[in-house]
Amino acid sequence: MFADALRSGIHRVLHEQETLNRINVFPVADGDTGTNLCMSLGASLQHLSQPAADHLGTFLAAIADILLDSARGNSGAIVAQFFQGMSDSAEDVGEFTAQSLSRAVSLGNDYARDALSNPREGTILSVIGAFASSLSHHASIGGEAGIASMLAAATSEANEALAKTREQLDVLQKAGVVDAGAKGFVTLVEGFADFIADGTVTEAPAIADVIASEMTTVTAGDDVELDYRFCTECVISAEDIDRRKLRERLSALGDSSCWPARSKRPRCTSMSTTRTRSSRSRADTASCPASRPTT
């Protein structure tokens, strides 16, 4: 059921790709949040279409690995780290209870916030935090209403937090929009929660609709001259990685940095996404498999 619910949530995000691109004004109005989220989450759909693993922890570990390997942009990297936290929490969980789900989402929230060099309210972090806080509250009073009711209440809280993002960042208030990454996360959990509640299935959009969304160029924000024009993702693997030193080394290359990490593999892996002035970072810092202009 978890796999089907997650697939339905991802399909709902795919349907919203154009909207998410259009309202993308923070941290840069480059109109790619929807595309980044869809590329990141969509990479897991093939795995989700296969028979689910008998053990929930094993299933979540596989999803977390796929999402980290496919993460694009800050929004995709933050969502990947959220699922990494859920995976680490649920390592020994065979099936979610109200309490174990709450713990998993809470750790996902912690991981997502820790991944950012400069976490800001009024972003995807605000709605993840509201979602996690609501689940924790309901779990603390016994979770007697059941997981479906808990998810419905948490999704409502996340929607309220989403509406508030318009007031939390000046750039969003000026453009008259909510944060795109935050809306993408809320869309994901809405699709998930609706499936858990009553089996509502969101089918995948037609491929023509997805292609048309990728061609969207008009955004809500003002055109700006960017100092850092390229969104660059780097994957670094080693026996042991000092994330603090890694941040110090790479932060000088750009801004808007996000630092997800995978901790449960035999080789430690860290993924960095940052905006740089050039399409390639200096060769002595990392191997960057994905680098593309954002304007």
Q: What is the amino acid identity at position 247? A: R
Higher pLDDT, 53 or 28: 28
Residue 6 within a domain: yes
* CATH number of the structural domain spanning residue 17: 1.25.40.340
Residue 220 within a domain: no
Residue 224 within a domain: no
- Chain centroid to CA 230: how far? 20
pTM to 2 decimals? 0.82
Q: What is the pLDDT of residues 9-38, one digit of tens each?
A: 999 999 999 999 999 998 888 888 999 999
Q: Which residues constitute the domain of residue 129? A: 2-214
- In this structure, the answer to whether residues 31 and 103 fall within a common structural domain is yes
- In this structure, the answer to whether residues 120 and 33 fall within a common structural domain is yes
- In this structure, the answer to whether residues 46 and 148 fall within a common structural domain is yes
Binned at pLDDT 50, 70 and 90, residue 261 comes out as low
Mean pLDDT within 230-237 = 70
Q: What is the DSSP letter of 95?
A: S
Is a pLDDT exceeding 80 seen at residue 217? no
Query: Within 13 Å and on the Cβ side, how many CA atoms surround 97?
Result: 9
Domain end residue (candidates: 162, 183, 214): 214
- In this structure, the answer to whether residues 235 and 210 fall within a common structural domain is no
Binned at pLDDT 50, 70 and 90, residue 288 comes out as very low
Residue 158 within a domain: yes
Q: What share of the chain is helix, strand, coil (3-state, %, to 5)?
A: 55, 10, 35
Residue 223 within a domain: no
Higher pLDDT, 271 or 133: 133
Among residues 87, 7, 86, 72, the alpha carbon closest in space to that of 46 is found at 7
- In this structure, the answer to whether residues 89 and 130 fall within a common structural domain is yes
Q: What is the amino acid identity at position 72? A: R
Q: What is the amino acid identity at position 108? A: G
Cβ partners under 8 Å of residue 255, min gap 6 = 27, 227, 228, 274, 275
3-state secondary structure of 18: helix
In the block, tokens 């995807």 appear at 124
- In this structure, the answer to whether residues 281 and 201 fall within a common structural domain is no
**How confident is the model at residue 207, as a pLDDT?**
65
Is a pLDDT exceeding 70 seen at residue 265? no
- In this structure, the answer to whether residues 30 and 85 fall within a common structural domain is yes
- In this structure, the answer to whether residues 181 and 268 fall within a common structural domain is no
- Chain centroid to CA 232: how far? 17
Mean pLDDT within 156-182 = 96
Q: What is the DSSP letter of 223?
A: P
Label residue 240 exposed, middle or buried (CB < 10 Å: 0-12, 13-18, 19+). Answer: exposed
Q: What residues pair up with 231 in beta bridges, in sequence order? A: 275, 292
Mean pLDDT within 120-130 = 97
- In this structure, the answer to whether residues 131 and 75 fall within a common structural domain is yes
The total number of structural domains in the chain stands at 2
**How confident is the model at residue 73, as a pLDDT?**
87
- In this structure, the answer to whether residues 160 and 269 fall within a common structural domain is no
Label residue 205 exposed, middle or buried (CB < 10 Å: 0-12, 13-18, 19+). Answer: middle
**How confident is the model at residue 226, as a pLDDT?**
57
- In this structure, the answer to whether residues 143 and 254 fall within a common structural domain is no
Binned at pLDDT 50, 70 and 90, residue 144 comes out as low
Calpha distance 169→126 (Å, rounded): 12
**How confident is the model at residue 28, as a pLDDT?**
82
Residue 22 within a domain: yes
Q: What residues pair up with 276 in beta bridges, in sequence order? A: 230, 254
**How confident is the model at residue 283, as a pLDDT?**
32
Domain end residue (candidates: 214, 239, 267): 214
Out of 49-58, 241-250, 253-262, the most confident range is: 49-58
**How confident is the model at residue 214, as a pLDDT?**
53
- In this structure, the answer to whether residues 77 and 107 fall within a common structural domain is yes
Domain end residue (candidates: 214, 239, 265): 214
Residue 110 within a domain: yes
Mean pLDDT within 174-182 = 96
Question: Does an H or E element contain 262, and which?
Answer: strand 261-262
